[in-house]
Chain A
């Protein structure tokens, strides 16, 4: 079966750094996405990794290791507005997105 695991909830402090992990087992792999979703809103695209390594985009970075079936999203200089759910999704062999359950990130002052 297809499976994507990420922690249910994480708490971090404003100004700090947090790493949200995602492990996956899917039928085929054509890339991994990270989306941010604020409560009551639709997801917004953050990153797409298809090759191994780290992709940096401002305060957010995303890492992928295909051999380990592992990715992480790194958020630096945390701001209160970063409080949201972060969704990991894998594009499988049929180019269908398989979604993780999301990680709720709580930022404290």
Chain B
């Protein structure tokens, strides 16, 4: 149980283009999903928290117009990196949390490695 998928697993795009990453909870309903990025040999950095049906809450320093997050259903959230630049190259990981009271574990997707050339 508690499986989260992420697609694509890796993507290479040209500078200036946009890339969409999908995160799906396969066997549970995720009322809250989280988007992280991780640079090599560094810890996870939370970018934003999204609750189904409402606007995402972005962490300080994360540009909401650049990293568009949509959490349209209880099983799907998307992150779109708009006008990507080489400095956006990173490992992007989503996680999902069930809406059950007292359940706080986050289950992670396998991650998406983005390379912007």
Q: Do A and B come from one complex?
A: yes
Binding site for B on A (CB under 8 A): 30-31, 33, 35, 40-45, 48, 87, 91, 95-97, 99-102
Residues from chain A with Cβ under 8 Å of B49 in the complex: 96
Given A42-B93, A87-B43, A101-B42, residue A95 in contact with residue B107 (CB < 8 A): no
Q: Is the CB of A44 within 8 A of B104?
A: no
A-facing mask of B9-28, CB < 8 A → 1, else 0? 00000000000000000000
Known contacts A33-B105, A95-B104; A100 and B110 CB within 8 A of each other: no
On whether the beta carbons of A99 and B44 are closer than 8 Å, the reply is yes
CB atoms of B105 and A48 under 8 A apart: yes
Interface residues on B, range: 10 to 19
The answer to the question of B67 belonging to the interface, with a C-beta cut-off of 8 Å to chain A, is no
**CB-nearest residue of chain B relative to A97?**
B106
A43 to B43, CA, bound (A): 11
Across the interface, do B107 and A31 meet the contact criterion of CB distance under 8 Å? Answer: no
Q: Known contacts A42-B93, A101-B43; is A30 also within 8 Å of B111 by CB?
A: no
Residue among B42, B108, B113 making CB contact with A43, cutoff 8 Å: B108
Residues of B within 8 A of A41 (CB): 110-111
- Using known A-B contacts A41-B111, A42-B111, determine if residue A87 contacts B105 with beta carbons closer than 8 Å: no
B43 in contact with A100 (CB, 8 Å): yes
8 A-B residue pairings within 8 Å (CB atoms)? A30-B104, A33-B105, A42-B95, A42-B111, A44-B108, A95-B104, A97-B34, A99-B43
